């Protein structure tokens, strides 16, 4: 009986030790983005903390030389809290490692209403991204060009086609971002795209709520899956340790106070997205 109790008491410490070991392996042996101009594209204030905290915390590490900005396409004004939520997003971004408050941009447009069921137009999203990051290429050319496409960012990060939570606004960002990338290289044969699009992998419902335990599954999937290295590595595995997870939780509990309903306490305690992000490089053609 004493041995059984000792085993039960030891298991949590073993699990935490395994998690921290996977974090150290990930940071030392897997590829990273360095010296990049990066934009995180989100739909609502709090997306950066609830879903992308490991990404922002990892990429804002000063030793990597990246400059990370956040572009949010709505103020989350469904409950009339838009102004409050914009301020909360800035506070959260700074907690997660952004250089300055001006690195947070919030768009308020009737084209992008905060709604669980409204699909945003991908052309409207792509046009906004073109105006912001590639104004010289905002309109696709009818004839082929010999000039290389250019942009003011190197990397765009957003949700994948499932949107993690199947939120219509999240999914819209995926399609809008792809449309933007395709427009950059449209009618420019022979040139690579100046912007890499990485999307956040949506996992099963079971894995979604396994917190740090999913770090082991993610590491194994990365180790035995297909990998692309070099200047455009994929996938990227971004994993937080205890300190980073506490920062991510603080970004929700102290910055996004207006959103801290009972179910979000469950999310920040159980969601693997507070601990692990795996990003896939999207393959897009300009045809």
Residue 22 lies in a domain: no
pLDDT at residue 131 above 90? yes
Residue 177 backbone zone (phi > 0: left; psi -120 to 50: alpha; other: beta): alpha
Residue 16 lies in a domain: no
Mean pLDDT of 27-56: 95
Query: Do the bridges between strand 37-42 and strand 155-159 make them parallel or antiparallel, or are there none, so unpaired?
Result: parallel
Q: What kind and span of H or E run contains 71?
A: strand 67-72
Q: What is the pLDDT of residues 226-241, one digit of tens each?
A: 778 788 898 999 999 9
Mean pLDDT of 115-138: 90
Note the pLDDT of residue 22: 87
Residue 225 lies in a domain: yes
Number of Cβ within 10 Å of residue 206's Cβ equals 8
Alpha-carbon gap, residue 19 to 240, rounded angstroms: 9
Return the SS3 of 46: coil
Domain carrying residue 266: 34-281
User: Over pLDDT 90: what percentage of the chain?
Assistant: 65
Of the given ranges (17-21, 113-117, 278-282), which has the lowest mean pLDDT? 17-21
Return the structure tokens found at 69: 């900005």
Residue 8 backbone zone (phi > 0: left; psi -120 to 50: alpha; other: beta): alpha
Residue 40 lies in a domain: yes
Q: pTM for the whole thing?
A: 0.92
Mean pLDDT of 213-224: 85
Q: What is the pLDDT of residues 152-194, one digit of tens each?
A: 999 999 999 999 999 999 999 999 999 999 999 877 776 788 9
Note the pLDDT of residue 149: 78
Residue 23 lies in a domain: no
Alpha-carbon gap, residue 286 to 221, rounded angstroms: 30
Note the pLDDT of residue 100: 97
Domain count along the chain: 1
User: Over pLDDT 70: what percentage of the chain?
Assistant: 90
Q: What is the pLDDT of residues 43-91, one digit of tens each?
A: 999 999 999 999 999 999 999 999 999 999 999 887 888 899 999 999 9
Alpha-carbon gap, residue 221 to 252, rounded angstroms: 29
Residue 8 lies in a domain: no
List the strands of the sheet with 104-106, edge to edge.
104-106, 67-72, 37-42, 155-159, 196-200, 276-281, 236-239
Residue 97 lies in a domain: yes
- Best CA proximity match to 275, nearest among 229, 237, 230, 234: 237
Note the pLDDT of residue 181: 94
Note the pLDDT of residue 1: 60
CATH number at residue 203: 3.40.50.10320
Note the pLDDT of residue 140: 52
pLDDT at residue 112 above 70? yes
- Best CA proximity match to 68, nearest among 147, 153, 129: 153
Note the pLDDT of residue 97: 97
Note the pLDDT of residue 178: 96
Whether residue 148 contacts residue 189, with contact meaning beta carbons closer than 8 Å, is answered with no
Provide the mean pLDDT of the chain: 89
Note the pLDDT of residue 138: 53
Residue 3 lies in a domain: no
The burial of 239, by beta-carbon neighbours within 10 Å (0-12 exposed, 13-18 middle, 19 or more buried), is given as buried
Mean pLDDT of 117-136: 93
Note the pLDDT of residue 141: 54
């Amino acid at each position: 009986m004493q041995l059984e109790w000792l085993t039960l008491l030891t298991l949590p410490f073993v699990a935490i030790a395994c998690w921290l070991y996977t974090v150290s392996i990930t940071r030392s042996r897997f590829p990273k983005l360095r010296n990049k101009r990066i934009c995180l594209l989100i739909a609502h204030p709090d997306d950066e903390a609830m879903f992308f905290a490991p990404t922002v915390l990892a990429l804002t590490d000063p030793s990597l030389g990246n400059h990370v900005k956040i572009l949010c396409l709505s103020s989350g004004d469904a409950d009339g809290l838009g102004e409050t939520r914009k301020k909360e997003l800035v506070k959260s971004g700074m907690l997660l490692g952004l250089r300055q408050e001006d690195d947070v941009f919030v768009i308020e447009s009737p084209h992008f209403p905060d709604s669980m069921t409204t699909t945003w137009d991908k052309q409207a999203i792509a046009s906004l991204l073109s105006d912001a990051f590639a104004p010289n290429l905002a309109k696709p050319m009818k004839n082929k060009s010999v000039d290389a496409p250019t942009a003011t960012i190197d990397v765009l990060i957003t949700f994948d086609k499932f949107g993690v939570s199947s939120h219509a606004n999240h999914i819209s960002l995926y399609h809008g971002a792809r449309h933007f990338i395709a427009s950059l290289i449209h009618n420019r044969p022979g040139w690579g795209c100046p912007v890499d699009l990485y999307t956040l992998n949506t996992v099963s419902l079971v894995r979604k709520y396994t917190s740090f335990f999913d770090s082991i599954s993610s590491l194994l999937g990365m180790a035995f899956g297909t990998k692309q290295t070099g200047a455009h590595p994929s996938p990227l595995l971004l994993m937080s340790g205890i300190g980073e997870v506490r920062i991510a939780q603080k970004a929700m509990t102290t910055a996004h106070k207006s959103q801290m309903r009972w179910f979000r306490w469950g999310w920040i305690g159980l969601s693997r997205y507070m601990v692990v992000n795996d990003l896939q490089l999207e393959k897009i053609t300009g045809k």
